[in-house]
Structure 1
């Protein structure tokens, strides 16, 4: 069975583990380099990106994750996870460091504060079954993308219509929103299939 880890330092870890299990993966929390070595794919969950950045260093996971990404490990980042995968972050803290995986510029907390959280339908390229009911909580958005980045979805409603909220570059996937909070497993199934394809290759 495909083994997918969820970076379990902070954020909505249990929800991602449950969604991945429902999508047919062997889902496991990852807190140590040895646990990272055992997975075929990794999810970086929503939470607080500056806190995750600090904990990645405390738990000595930065270099191992950087190396696995460079070697082609499929990684999916939701909300704060999107920020962690971005090459450039606007409105971030000066000591905040991500994994520089996707050639995109992300604006942190772009949709506003916690009270500005909202839900909206998002049509996603490659995900069948109609628009995805997306939950945005202090969410980032993508200001621009570089070469090789496929825009999978834009939000048409809410406080900033037509902003990019879902992207893919090779084996890396990122969304501004939280699919693990909806009960809709389509995006997790999409990622599980990404991991299986990468493992077969």
Structure 2
């Protein structure tokens, strides 16, 4: 199994240590041809509008959408969740791989970002330190999607089939439980 890290823009390097500590092989994905070399993909946090521009510029939207629709496990982290959403800020999303609508940077400016302890029943944990950085807010979510965690009532860890999203950054902490889970879906 080889996990791909979309390396067009964003914080993809922090995922490497968690993949390695989970025993996974990985490669950076920068072109549509790289998609044939991976079994699953992490779309990292970063700037979703810049990511969208690069996905369009490198003709990756179609091939990536088809591979996800065919069942490739995919994880969107923060901006990656925005890229995977059906709707963003009232407009159509980029990959439209998960039936939800989001608002970018919904919780305020960078100064409002921070780390909060989340209880995640799926992992049977008391608290997971979740770092939110200008996080998107999930406004609408199809009932067929599983909500694994909420923060102040909002879904922040969601899974739809083999696509999962976190509106926070698990890769910034020391615990690789999210990466281990992703490698099993």
TM-score (norm 1): 0.88
Matches within 5 A, 1:67-82: 67-82=66-81
**Alpha-carbon displacement from aligned partner over 1:15-50 (angstroms, at most 9, x marks no partner):** 112211222211111001221111110000000000
The residue aligned with 1:149 is: 145
> SS in structure 2 opposite 1:19?
helix
Aligned pair count reads 185
Any runs of at least 4 consecutive aligned residues in structure 1 with deviations exceeding 3 A, and if so which?
Answer: none
Q: CA deviation at 1:97?
A: 4.4
- Say if 2:137 is the partner of 1:108: no
Residues 17 and 28 of structure 1 are in contact (CA less than 8 Å); yes or no, is this contact kept in structure 2? no
Determine which of 190, 193, 198 is the counterpart of 2:181: 190
Residues 3 and 26 of structure 1 are in contact (CA less than 8 Å); yes or no, is this contact kept in structure 2? yes
Determine which of 138, 157, 162 is the counterpart of 2:153: 162
Q: CA deviation at 1:58?
A: 1.3
Determine which of 112, 115, 118 is the counterpart of 1:119: 115
> SS in structure 2 opposite 1:77?
strand
Q: CA deviation at 1:144?
A: 2.1
The residue aligned with 1:134 is: 130
> SS in structure 2 opposite 1:35?
helix
d(CA) in 2 for partners of 1:20, 1:130: 23
d(CA) in 1 for partners of 2:121, 2:96: 23
Q: Structure 2 stretches of 5 or more lacking a match?
A: none
> SS in structure 2 opposite 1:73?
coil
The residue aligned with 2:95 is: 99
d(CA) in 1 for partners of 2:150, 2:143: 18
Q: Structure 1 stretches of 5 or more lacking a match?
A: 156-160, 195-201
> SS in structure 2 opposite 1:192?
helix
Residues 5 and 30 of structure 1 are in contact (CA less than 8 Å); yes or no, is this contact kept in structure 2? yes
> SS in structure 2 opposite 1:121?
strand
